Chains A and B, each alone.
Chain A
Amino acid sequence: MDFDLSREHELIRRTVREFAEGEVAPVAEELDRTKSFPYEIVEKLGKLNLMGIPFPEEYGGGGGDTLAYALAVEELTRVDSSVAITLCAHTSLGTQPLYLFGSEEQKREWMPRLCSGERLGAFGLTEPEAGSDAGNTRTRARLEDGEWVIDGTKQFITNAGTDISGLVCITAVTGGEAADPAQPKEISNIIVPNGTPGYEQGEPYRKMGWNASDTRPLSFSDCRVPEENLLGPRGAGFKQFLHILDIGRIGVAAMGVGLAQGALDEALKYAKERRAFGKPISKFQAIQGKLADMSTEIAAARLLVYKAAREKDAGRNFTLTAAQAKLKTGRLAVRCAEEAVQIHGGYGFIEEYPVCRFYRDAKILTIGEGTDEVQQMVIARALGA
């Protein structure tokens, strides 16, 4: 059993760390404060092949694996969650469905532009009445004269409303229900390019955190796309999105580890500088206990995330490990952010210190990409409970 990263993985980790510290850290506070989408950073990430890490080079991807992707997401989140979720949602949710289920033609058309970061991909799953119960989709698509006519709404969608958003892949009910209400709905995934008449992106949400990322409601009203925009076989949508969410959990779990590590790093730095009662507060046992616990929990959680990535790369079933990693790291991120703020004292409540932003950014990690309660369902199911 080998706990060392390969030379390539180590260098990817280091490169993204240097990029995050050199390019993201200096602007993270401003982007968050002004709620500005990080266009320049996305462009730079694209040039370094980081907007398409786990996809083959023949489609314009970086030719990396899931572990490389997790390392990159972790290192970005260590510095800023908004940039990380932009890359993460684009890769795991926006581009992944096309790569896994798209036709050769669909892949040739979209993947190079998505992997280069020239265009962003989004995934439209959640609806006002279909969150954790994502199968309860109300958005409908009916086939009419060789076109899908889509009506419905989506919410909490990342990356759909930027100047460079290229497409959203949505789940829609394409049949089944009307004929026999007892039968499960037929759900399919359909690609809707930005600019399609009838597809509109609502105003950005006022969020607690992730302020520099793009999150909006979407509406579809008599929105027509060609029949061939169907992703994979008709009716495969449910299975497809479950698989996409499984993969997505690895990315979001990497975010949890990254945020927790960033919180620890900031807290340790501050504790060594801040003096009270004549010595740095890092010399007090109460602070040392917090730092030691954070460090230990992070080390354990990181192994879980890397294991999930490794299982996926080895072609094994990773559903259980990915859910465990997601459950563990979301909670850990929230706790580490809180402890880091606590160690900063009053300054932790002030936006000048990154931990203040980390605290706001952490909470969504126990909710997005499957709530903790959904992870528990997935885990319990895998246990046979």
Chain B
Amino acid sequence: MKICVLVKEVPDAAVEKRIDPSTGRMDRSGEKNLNPYDTHAIEAAMQIKEGGAVPVEEIVAVTMGPDSAVRALHKAVSLGADRSVHLSDPAVAGSDVAATGYALAKTLQRESPDLVLLGQQSDDGECYTIGAVVAEHLGMPSLTQVIKMDVESDALRCERQAEYGYDTVQIKLPAVISVGDAINEPRYPSLKAIMGAKKKPLDAITAADAEIDASKVGGENSAAQWIAAKAPPAKAAGEIIEDEDTGETVEKIIAWLDERKLI
């Protein structure tokens, strides 16, 4: 089995997110990290490999992004990926979700994976949909928000986090699966893995290498354009109930909850 894991470099969780009004894109100038959800996808790939139910020949980390995105790939290979592919081209900069999904699918086609894994959402854009777009272009079945995965010869048995409860779905390979953070506890890369990561091959490719139609990618060719962002309305101040008589306080709390149909 060959597994490709889609990864993304995102602003570090500690950095306050903001939109750059001049470009209408997220300001990504601060400290960056590998998208935390993608570390779960890499861990899931590693667990399939180490689980031994099926032989895994290779785990390949794939990203699209500027030069700095090699840091995300470096972390991905430190966490266990065998090599990495970096699609970097001014032509794809500023692509919206549909264009990004198309470009990633073209990049993945060069690899012919049996399984594509990715985090269910990115910490920055949080669109949740890249996996589905990629699957559409690759003509593969897709599952999202998977939190458990068992390999069965040419299929996967997955548990999916639904709004109420869990779905169990069997899916034929090749497939595209986005995973939730409940699926596993990602490992920390060891120092030796970090030091050894640069010895693992990194394939830097352009849009032309991936046979990407330049008229379908980039900010200019994206159908979705950001218009405005505003902060959510401030929360109203809470209500403080002084506890003078506990019986009375309990009743007041119950009445308050009842009024809002919370109980």
Contacts and interface: CB of A to CB of B under 8 A. Distances in A.
Contact of A50 (B71, B78, B191): B191
Contacts of B157: none
Given A8-B195, A14-B33, A47 B74 contact: no
Interface in A12-36: 12, 14-15, 18-19, 22
A22 B197 CA distance: 23
A49 interface: yes
Contacts of A64: 191, 195
A60 to B, nearest CB: 10
B51 interface: no
Contacts of B191: 12, 48-50, 53, 62-64, 68
B190 interface: yes
Contact of A49 (B190, B197, B198): B190
Residue among B71, B188, B192, B198 having the largest count of chain A Cβ atoms under 10 Å: B188
Residue among B74, B192, B197, B198 having the largest count of chain A Cβ atoms under 10 Å: B192
A11 B71 contact: yes
Residue among A11, A48, A63 having the largest count of chain B Cβ atoms under 10 Å: A11
B194 interface: yes
Contacts of B197: 8, 11
Contact of A8 (B33, B70, B190, B194): B194
Contacts, number: 49
A11 B75 CA distance: 7
Given A7-B74, A11-B71, A14-B33, A19 B188 contact: yes
Contact of B192 (A7, A11, A18, A49): A49
A25 to B, nearest CB: 14
B192 A63 contact: yes
Which of under 10, 10 to 19, 20 to 34, or 35 or more describes the interface residues of A? 20 to 34
Contacts of A133: none
B30 interface: no
Interface in B172-228: 188-192, 194-195, 197-198
A12 B192 contact: no
A57 interface: yes
Nearest to A51: B191
Given A7-B70, A7-B74, A12 B188 contact: no
Given A7-B71, A7-B74, A11-B78, A63 B195 contact: yes
A177 interface: no
Nearest to A65: B195
A68 B33 CA distance: 18
Nearest to A9: B194
A273 interface: no
A222 interface: no
Contacts of A49: 190-192
Contacts of B75: 11, 14
A10 interface: yes
Contacts of B189: 11, 15, 48
Contacts of A22: 188
Contact of B198 (A7, A18, A47): A7
B81 to A, nearest CB: 14
A11 B188 contact: no
A133 B138 CA distance: 73
B198 A8 contact: yes
A113 B74 CA distance: 29
Interface in A53-71: 53, 57, 62-64, 68
Contacts of A48: 188-191
Residue among B78, B189, B194 having the largest count of chain A Cβ atoms under 10 Å: B194
Nearest to A23: B188
Nearest to A64: B191
Contacts of A57: 192
Contacts of A14: 33, 75
A265 B75 CA distance: 25
Given A8-B198, A63-B195, A64-B195, A15 B71 contact: no
A47 B191 CA distance: 9
A260 to B, nearest CB: 18
Interface in A168-218: none
Interface string B18-35: 000000000000000100
Given A7-B70, A7-B71, A11-B71, A47 B78 contact: no
A11 B190 contact: no
Nearest to A21: B14
Contacts of B71: 7, 10-11
Given A8-B194, A11-B194, A15-B189, 16 more contacts: A7-B70, A11-B71, A11-B75, A11-B78, A14-B33, A15-B194, A18-B188, A19-B188, A48-B189, A48-B190, A49-B190, A49-B191, A49-B192, A53-B191, A63-B195, A64-B191
16 contacts: A8-B194, A8-B197, A10-B71, A11-B71, A11-B74, A12-B191, A12-B194, A15-B189, A15-B194, A48-B189, A48-B191, A62-B190, A62-B192, A62-B195, A63-B195, A68-B191
Interface of B: 33, 70-71, 74-75, 78, 188-192, 194-195, 197-198
Which 5 residue pairs spanning A and B have beta carbons closest together? A62-B191, A49-B191, A48-B190, A49-B190, A49-B192
